[in-house]
Structure 1
Amino acid sequence: MANSGFEYVRHFEHHDAIPPSNWIVVRIDGRGFSKLCKKYSFSKPNDQRALDLMNAAATEVVRSLVDIVLAYGQSDEYSFIFHESATMFERRAAKLATTVATAFTAEYCLQWPTFFPEQQLSRPFPTFDGRCVAYPKRKILRDYLAWRQADCHINNLYNTVFWNLVLKGEMDGKAAEEALKGTLAADKNEILWSRFEVNYNNEPAIWRKGTVVYRAYDAEEGGTRQSGDVEGQRSSGGKGLGGGVSEGAKGGSKSQLEKERKRKQKARIAVEHVDIIGDGFWEARPYVLAGKRGHVEE
């Protein structure tokens, strides 16, 4: 870029790079989705088409951004996990958040006709905002994901009881809220079973547990090699959603880095509705959160 007398304005830009060796979470949320749900008459308490659309959009974002190792979604939100060694966009928080949010929004709108063929999108179109948070340890990252899945369960149980009271119990919204005030999970389960013969544990897993999207290396299931890194791997903030490969990356040749990038691109994108609070998911797939040399550390 040519120098000019106006270039001083660049000094007002804020340097917002996430520190190295931190896991990066970009969480996107739908903007004004309560109005959108009413506008397109989403089913209550869950609209399967809407959830499937969210998952389809998330799958394409994970496929496009190879530094993402896992994503977790529920309702109108999704959390995308960038590996601690990721260097896409030089780990700049604003660029990571806006890239994920805009890519997700584009996929959501583009794939809308597939899931809602009889309802054409109109203004205001669905949009998603994004925030970027750094977590210094795998344990804290695990706790974050556990928090989001626990939130999914709590919200879905409440909504399931609420909408049964409204749709089947013929209560208005205010009366249903009053009936649920101060109730515990056991109370809500009792209401569902005694009044509506609904066993909450038999509700679809996608509603109760949300959705996990990750790169599955089937030949390595149960092994120690990880999906997000090779020794000394670095990816650059080059053009394109997937970024590039840094030619001068330390600890790895260009051919090694390119091989690993292609390996990620060819990996199967798994979409599952499973528990991620306990250890079972992670013990069966240690490569998801493994670091250099394939180690999984706290």
Structure 2
Amino acid sequence: MMTSPATTENHGARPDHRERVTQRLEEFRPFRLHGVPFPVMVLSRAAGLLAPGLLRRRLNGVPASALGSMAKSKFEFAEQHNFTKPNDDRALQLMNRCAQTVMQELKDIIVAYGQSDEYSFVFHKKSNWFKRRASKFMTHVASQFASSYVYCWKDYFSEQPLLYPPGFDGRVILYPSDQNLKDYLSWRQADCHINNLYNTAFWALVQKGGLPTAQAQERLQGTVSAVKNEILFTEFNINYNDEPLMYRKGTVLVWQKVQEVTTKLVKWSQTAEESEVEVTRTRRKVMPLHCDVIGEPFWEEHPDILADDN
């Protein structure tokens, strides 16, 4: 904050120009992610434009978030674009495609998790990307994701035109330890299961049971998972455990080494004709998994995610 002339040591003399500029720069400097590992970028779908607030605070060892605002409801967007209920495979695959694009562009992201209309991107704990400025994390990921969503839309919704440009709200969260990060991702996957089980039961009652939405909500209000499973199985012959893993578990994106075989034309000598030769290369690619992240087996199978030298 600038010091008023009346409180300066030289009794009423104005601070020199350089001091005033330095003070103002310090006040409005974009906050950076200091001393805390695992910046996590969280995106969720809206139908408006991202409008992040002014970022002025520094994060000094305390988890905090940078929030955007949503202009329209995600439910309105889904309704207007005729999404299938309770799950639209096209929409989920499009979200995965956009998240893969983000990870391929921003190599400091070590793992991502997505379900429904949201995606979380975990940056490496030692990432110095854009000098760890939270505003850069949020705006760059959000803009990359939103542009990919529009660019790839036609690949998944060939018969449904995009009626208006969608936008994404985003926030940056800090987690100080490996266990905190595991707990966060476990929470998001548990949330995926709870919401999907409810939506599966709700839309079965509406679409197959013929109940109005208000009655379906009243029927499910206060019920536990066992009751919802029983309704699905006894009334609609739906075994929830047979539902696609992507719906029940969400999608985990990880870096994996894969063998790629390509064909090259090789000319062995100046007089010889070109011949085709198969060449095998090892590359790191972003691969989607639909698996459990709550237990330890996932982390034991992918120790590189939390490795300091990743």
TM-score by length of 1: 0.78
CA-to-aligned-CA distance 1:12-36 (integer Å, 9 cap, x gap): 4243111234111000011121011
What corresponds to 1:105 in structure 2?
146
Matched, 1:15 2:55: no
Matched, 1:88 2:103: no
Match of 1:153 among 187, 190, 193: 193
Q: Distance in 2 between matches of 1:13 and 1:214?
A: 36
Matched, 1:283 2:308: no
Match of 1:117 among 158, 163, 172: 158
Shift of 1:218: 5.3
Match of 2:77 among 32, 36, 61: 36
Q: Distance in 1 between matches of 2:38 and 2:196?
A: 28
What corresponds to 2:50 in structure 1?
none
What corresponds to 2:218 in structure 1?
178
Matched, 1:72 2:117: no
Letter in 1 for 2:304: Y
Contact residue 21 and residue 85 of structure 1 kept, 8 A? no
- What value does the CA root-mean-square deviation take over the aligned residues? 2.1
What corresponds to 1:138 in structure 2?
178
Q: Distance in 1 between matches of 2:308 and 2:26?
A: 35
Q: Distance in 2 between matches of 1:88 and 1:179?
A: 49
Matched, 1:169 2:209: yes
Shift of 1:129: 1.2
Whose strand proportion is higher, 1 or 2?
A: 2
Question: Which gives a bigger RCO, structure 1 or 2 (Cα 8 Å, sep 6+)?
Answer: 1
Q: Distance in 2 between matches of 1:177 and 1:92?
A: 43
Match of 1:209 among 241, 246, 249: 249
SS in 2 for 1:44: coil
Q: Distance in 2 between matches of 1:7 and 1:52?
A: 49
Letter in 2 for 1:36: F
Contact residue 62 and residue 214 of structure 1 kept, 8 A? no
Letter in 1 for 2:40: V
CA-to-aligned-CA distance 1:247-274 (integer Å, 9 cap, x gap): xxxxxxxxxxxxxxxxxx9412111111
The number of residue pairs the alignment matches comes to: 245
Structure 2 unaligned blocks of 5 or more: 1-16, 47-72, 260-281
Q: Distance in 2 between matches of 1:21 and 1:291?
A: 14
Match of 2:40 among 20, 25, 32: 25
What corresponds to 1:268 in structure 2?
285
Letter in 2 for 1:60: T
Q: Distance in 1 between matches of 2:230 and 2:197?
A: 12
Structure 1 unaligned blocks of 5 or more: 220-264
What corresponds to 1:254 in structure 2?
none
Q: Distance in 2 between matches of 1:276 and 1:56?
A: 20
Q: Distance in 2 between matches of 1:167 and 1:7?
A: 64
Matched, 1:189 2:229: yes
Q: Distance in 2 between matches of 1:146 and 1:116?
A: 31
What corresponds to 1:61 in structure 2?
102
Q: Percent identity?
A: 44
Letter in 2 for 1:53: L
CA-to-aligned-CA distance 1:170-200 (integer Å, 9 cap, x gap): 0011000000011000000000000000000
Q: Distance in 2 between matches of 1:108 and 1:286?
A: 31
Q: Distance in 2 between matches of 1:59 and 1:15?
A: 28
Q: Distance in 1 between matches of 2:31 and 2:158?
A: 41
CA-to-aligned-CA distance 1:106-134 (integer Å, 9 cap, x gap): 101110000001122122x2111110011
Contact residue 37 and residue 174 of structure 2 kept, 8 A? yes
CA-to-aligned-CA distance 1:30-66 (integer Å, 9 cap, x gap): 1121011110110000000000000000001011101
SS in 1 for 2:305: coil
Change (3 A) 1:91 1:38: same
